[in-house]
Chain A
Amino acid sequence: MALQLEQVTKRFGDFTAVDQLSLMVEEGTMYGFLGANGAGKTTTFRMILGLLNTTEGSIAWNGRTISYETSPQIGYLPEERGLYPKMKVLEQLMFLGQLRGMDKVSAKSASFQWLERFEVPHYTNKKVEELSKGNQQKIQVIASLMHNPKLLILDEPFSGLDPVNVEMLKKAIVDFRNNGATILFSSHRMDHVEELCEQLSIIHHGQQLVSGKLRDVKRSFGKQNVRIRSDFPLEGMESMDGVITSHHSLEGAVFQVEDEKVANDLLQAALLKGPIRHFEIEEPSLQDIFIAKVGEEHA
C-alpha cells in the first residue's frame, strides 16, 4: 500500500505553501521529510490526511484518496502536544484509540501494552499536564500507533526527547515499518532521517529542492570529501582538476572534490610524493546537503 503524491500544489490566496510536490512512499518503507519551520511540511500532512484539499495535483494511498473511511488505518502525530491536558493518560488513549476504530477492550489492552513498552506504566492514571514534555511525547506517539495503522504520519516525532528515549521510539517505529507499515515523517534532525529513511525530500518555502533515495541524493549532490593524512605537506595538489576547495592541517588535508575519479587522481598524486598514512572518501552528510541546498535558496 503505497502513498503517492503527484505534482501537489497548495495555494492560500497569493501565497503558495506547497509547490509541485511529488513523492512516493512504498509499502514497508520510511520516507523522511526535511524542511525548516514554515517550509510547508504541516500543510502537506494536512492535505494527505484530507483536512485540506489540494489546489492542484493528486494524493492517493493505495490508489484511493484518503477519507474518513480510511481513518482507522492511519496514525497521525501532530507537531507538539495533541493531547487533552486535563484528561488522564489511560482515558485519553482509550478515547483516541476508539476514535480510530478500536473497541473498548482492545483499546485498553493496547494502551497498557504500549505504556509498558515505553516504560511509563506508572503514568496510567496521571493527567497529561502533570507529565514532562518528553513523557507527553511518548503518550502522543502511543496514541498514533496503538491502533496498528497501515500509514503512519509523524510530524517531528523525536522533539523534546532525551537520547535514550529517542532510541526507544526509533526502535518502535522501525518495528512498525518492518511489519509492513508505510511511514512518512518530518524532522529537523538530519541524523535521524539519515539513519531511518530509505527515501527523503528536502523542501524549502514549498519548493521540493531534493528528493529521492538517500544514496542517490548523496551521489547526485556531486561533492565528496577526500581526507588524506601523510607525513609530508600536500600543498599544490588543490590545483588539480576537479578539486573544489581544500583545507590543510598539520596532519594532512581535506579536499572537496567533484566525483570519485578526482579522488583516485588525488590518491595517485599523493602516493607519488611518498607513503600516506590515511586515505578516505567521505560521503557528504545530509547536514551538508541541507545547508548547501537551503543556503543556495537563501542566497
Chain B
Amino acid sequence: MREFWIIFKQSFMTKAKTKSFFITTLIMVAGIFLFANLPSIIDKAGKLIGDSKEDKVLVLDQSGMLAERLQQQLKQSDEEIKVELADEPKEQLLKQVKEEDIEAFIELDLDATQTIQATYTTASLVDNYLPSALQDALQSIQTEVKAEQLSLSGEQVATLFAPIQFEKQNISDSAKSEDELNQARVLVYVLMFVIYFAVIIYSSMIATEVATEKSSRVMEILISSVSPVKHMFAKVLGIGSLGIVQIVVYGLAGFIAYKLSSMGEENELSAFFSLENLQVSTLVYAVIFFLLGYFLYATLAALLGSLVSRTEDVQQMIMPMSLLVVAAFIIAATGLGNPELGYLKIASFIPFFTPLVMFLRVGMLDLPLWEPLLSIAIMVATIIMLGWFGAKVYRGGVLMYGPSRSLKDLKKAIQLGKE
C-alpha cells in the first residue's frame, strides 16, 4: 500500500505542478467568467462601437397613405427604423442602389383588392433583419386595412387573433414540470459536456503518461519495485484525483461567476440557467456517472497506453476508445429533445454509453430507481472486468518494446504477462 501512495502522489503532484496544467486551469476559469458576463459585455461593446444607430429606409409610396402608417406601425412595435419618403423617381433610386449610394428602398402600393404590394430592392440580401421587420409591419397594416374594409371593430379583430390556451399537464407525482424539464435539459447538457471532456482529456493523459514511462524505461524500475497492477491503479486514481480537483475548481469558479454576474439577477437568461429547481439527485447522479465513466475509460486508456512504446503512437492507439466516447455523446445529444426514444433505453445499459446516456435519461425522465441502479451495477462489473483484464495486458505490455501500434498486440502482451 505504501508504494501505491507514493506512485499516486507522484502522478498527481508532477502533473499538478506543471506550467501547462496551471495555465490551462487559469484560461478555463477566465473563460467561465467571460461566459457568465457575456450578455453585459456584448451590450457594452455594442454601445462602444455605436451599433445601436437607427436604421433608415427609403420608401417609394404609390398609394400615398402606406408610408405614414408604416412609420406608426414600426414605432408601435418598438423598431428603431425610420421611414423616409424618397424624392427621386424609381430609376434614380435603382441607380443609387446599384452604385451603393443607398443600401435599399421599398416600393409600396395597394392593388385593386386593397392588398399591399411591396418590393424591397437592395444590392445585397445579407441583412435579413430590416426586410423581415418591414414585412411584419406591413402584414399588420394589411390586417387593419382589410378589417376596415370588412367593417370589423378592433375588438372583433382581436378575437380573431386571440391565442388559444394550451397547457401541458403531467399527472405523475414525481414527473418534472415543463419548467423543470427545460432547466434539467440545460443542466444535463452542461454536465454531459463536462463528463465528455473530462473522460477524453484525462484518459488520454493516462495513456500518454504510461507510454512516457515506458519509452523512458522508468517503467522497468517502477515495476521491479511495485506490481504492475498496483502501478496501473495508482496511476488511474492519481490522474483521476487531479481531474476532480480541476473540475471542482471550475465548478467553484462557475458558481462565483454566476453569483457576481448579471445572471445572478432576475432576467430571462438567469431563469434559463436557474439553479433553484435543481434536483439534488441529478447532481448526485452526475458525480456517480462522472466517476464511473472516468474509471471505465481510464482503465481502458492505461491498458492501451501500455501497448505502445513511443508516445507518438498513443493517439493512434486510443483512437477507437475516443470514438466510443464520441458515439456516446452523439447518442446522448440526439436524445436531449426526446429522452424517451427506444434506442436511448438500450444504449443507457451499454457500459461505454451509460455515463452519458443513462445520465441524460435519469436527469430528464422519471425513471424507476432500478434502471439507474442496474446500469451502475453493469458499469461497476465492467470496470472490475476491465481492471482484471487490463492488469493482465499491462503486466506484459509494459515490458514489450518495438513497433506496436495495433490491437493485435493485446494477445502478445497477455502472453508476455504470463511468462
Are the chains A and B members of one assembly? yes
A interface, CB within 8 angstroms of B: 10, 12, 46, 49-53, 55, 68, 71-72, 74, 76, 78-87, 91, 95-96, 98-100, 143-144
Q: Which one of B7, B14, B216, B399 contacts A83 once the chains associate, using CB atoms below 8 Å?
A: B216
Question: Is the Cβ of B224 less than 8 Å from the Cβ of A74?
Answer: yes
Task: State how many angstroms separate the Cβ of B329 from the closest Cβ of chain A.
Answer: 31
Of listed B14, B223, B225, residue having the most chain A CB within 10 A: B225
CB-CB nearest 3 A-B residue pairs = A71-B225, A78-B220, A82-B217
B218 contacts A by Cβ under 8 Å? yes
Smallest CB separation, B177 vs chain A (Å): 53
Give Cα A135 to B14, complex, Å: 22
Given the contacts A87-B14, A95-B10, A68 and B227 also touching, CB distance less than 8 Å? yes
How many angstroms from the CA of A98 to the CA of B222 in the assembled complex?
A: 11
Instruction: Given A82-B218, A91-B14, A99-B6, decide whether A49 and B213 contact each other with a Cβ distance below 8 A.
Output: no
Docked Cα-Cα span, A99 to B224, in Å, equals 10
**Shortest beta-carbon distance from B214 to chain A in Å:** 11
The CA-CA distance from A115 to B416 in the complex, in Å, is 37
B226 contacts A by Cβ under 8 Å = yes
- Are A68 and B6 interface neighbours, CB within 8 A? no
Say whether B419 faces chain A, with CB atoms less than 8 Å apart.
yes
Q: Does B3 contact A (CB under 8 A)?
A: yes
Chain A residue at smallest Cβ distance from B399: A51
CA distance A53 to B418 in the complex (A): 8
Contact across chains for A71 and B224 when beta carbons are under 8 A apart: yes
User: Which positions 206-253 of chain B face chain A at CB distance < 8 Å?
Assistant: 212-213, 216-218, 220-227
Instruction: With both chains docked as a complex, state the minimum distance between the C-beta of B17 and any C-beta of chain A, in angstroms.
Output: 9
Contact of A95 among B6, B212, B216, B418 (CB under 8 A): B6
Contact A76 B221 (CB under 8 A): yes
Q: List 16 A-B contacts (CB under 8 A).
A: A12-B416, A51-B399, A52-B399, A52-B416, A68-B227, A74-B224, A76-B221, A82-B216, A82-B218, A82-B221, A84-B14, A86-B14, A86-B18, A95-B6, A95-B10, A99-B226
How far, in whole Å, are A143 and B217 apart by their CA atoms in the complex?
13
Residues of A within 8 A of B217 (CB): 78-82
Q: Which of B213, B222, B226, B419 contacts A52 (CB 8 A)?
A: B419
Q: How far is the CB of A83 from chain B (nearest CB, A)?
A: 6
> Which among A12, A78, A80 has the highest number of chain B CB atoms within 10 Å?
A78
Question: What residues of chain A lie closer than 8 Å to B216, measured between beta carbons?
Answer: 81-85
The main secondary structure of chain B at its interface with chain A is helix
Minimum Cβ distance to chain B for residue A137 (Å): 13
Q: Are B419 and A68 in contact (CB under 8 A)?
A: no
Residue of B nearest to A84 (CB): B218
Chain B residue with Cβ nearest A47 = B419
Q: Is the CB of A49 within 8 A of B10?
A: no
Sample of 8 more A-B contacts, CB < 8 Å, known A68-B225, A81-B217, A91-B14: A68-B227, A71-B225, A84-B14, A84-B216, A84-B218, A98-B6, A99-B6, A99-B221
Residues of A near B224 (CB, < 8 A) are 49-51, 71, 74, 76
Pair B221/A143 contact, Cβ less than 8 Å = yes
Interface of A is mostly: loop
A98 to B10, CA, bound (A): 11
Interface residues on B, range: 20 to 34
Within 8 Å by CB of B419, from A12, A91, A96, lies A12
**Across the interface, which residues of A come within 8 angstroms of B399, CB to CB?**
46, 51-52
Asked, given contacts A80-B217, A96-B221, whether A53 binds B419 with beta carbons under 8 Å apart, the answer is yes
**Which residues of B lie under 8 Å from residue A10 when comparing CB positions?**
419
CA distance A88 to B7 in the complex (A): 16
CB distance from B406 to the nearest CB of A (A): 18
- Distance in Å: Cβ of B137 to nearest Cβ of chain A: 65
B-side contacts of A81, CB under 8 Å: 216-218
Residues of chain A with a CB closer than 8 A to B226's CB: 68, 99
CA distance A85 to B18 in the complex (A): 13
A99 touches B14 (CB 8 A): no
> What is the bound-complex CA distance between A290 and B237, given in angstroms?
49
State A76–B224 Cα separation when bound (angstroms).
8
Which B residue's beta carbon lies closest to that of A74? B224
Nearest to B213 among chain A residues (CB) is A84
Chain B, 369-412, contact with A by CB distance < 8 Å: what is the 0/1 string? 00000000000000000000000000000010000000000000
Contact B18 A99 (CB under 8 A): no
A81 to B219, CA, bound (A): 11
Q: Indicate which residue in B225, B416, B419 contacts A100 across the interface (CB closer than 8 Å).
A: B225
The distance from the CB of B169 to the nearest CB of chain A, in whole angstroms, is: 61
CB distance from B268 to the nearest CB of A (A): 48
Shortest beta-carbon distance, B281 to chain A, in Å? Answer: 42
Query: Beta-carbon contacts of B297-321 to A below 8 Å, as 1s and 0s?
Result: 0000000000000000000000000
State whether A78 and B419 are in contact (beta carbons under 8 Å apart), knowing that A84-B14, A86-B18, A91-B14 are contacts in the complex. no
- The chain B residue with its CB closest to the CB of A143 is B221
A10 CB, nearest partner CB in chain B, Å: 8
Nearest chain B residue, comparing its CB with the CB of A76:
B224
Verify A51–B220 contact, CB threshold 8 A.
yes
> Within 8 Å CB of B221, what residues of A?
76, 78, 82, 96, 99, 143-144
Determine how close the nearest CB of chain A comes to the CB of B397; give it in whole angstroms.
12
Closest partner residue, chain A, to B401 (CB atom): A42
In the complex, which residue of chain A has the Cβ closest to the Cβ of B231? A99
How far is B418's CA from A91's CA once the two chains are assembled, in angstroms?
A: 34
- Chain A residues contacting B218 (CB-CB under 8 Å) are 81-84
Output the least CB separation between B240 and chain A (Å): 19
Smallest CB gap from B222: residue in A:
A99
- Residues of chain B contacted by A55 (CB below 8 angstroms): 419
What are the residues of chain B within 8 A of A79 when measuring CB–CB? 217
CB-defined contacts of A51 to chain B, threshold 8 Å: 220, 223-224, 399
Cα–Cα, bound, A48→B417 (Å) = 16
A251 to B86, CA, bound (A): 121
Which residue of chain A lies nearest to B9 when distances are taken between CB atoms in the complex?
A95
Q: Are A99 and B220 in contact (CB under 8 A)?
A: no
In the complex formed, the residue of B with least CB distance to A80 is: B217
Min Cβ gap B277→A in Å is: 46
Q: Which residues of B contact A87 (CB under 8 A)?
A: 14
Quick one: closest B residue to A68, CB to CB? B227
- Which chain B residues (320-367) contact chain A, with CB distance < 8 Å? none
CB distance from B229 to the nearest CB of A (A): 11
Tell me the bound Cα distance from A84 to B6 in angstroms: 15
CB distance from B376 to the nearest CB of A (A): 34
Chain A residues, CB < 8 A from B3 = 99
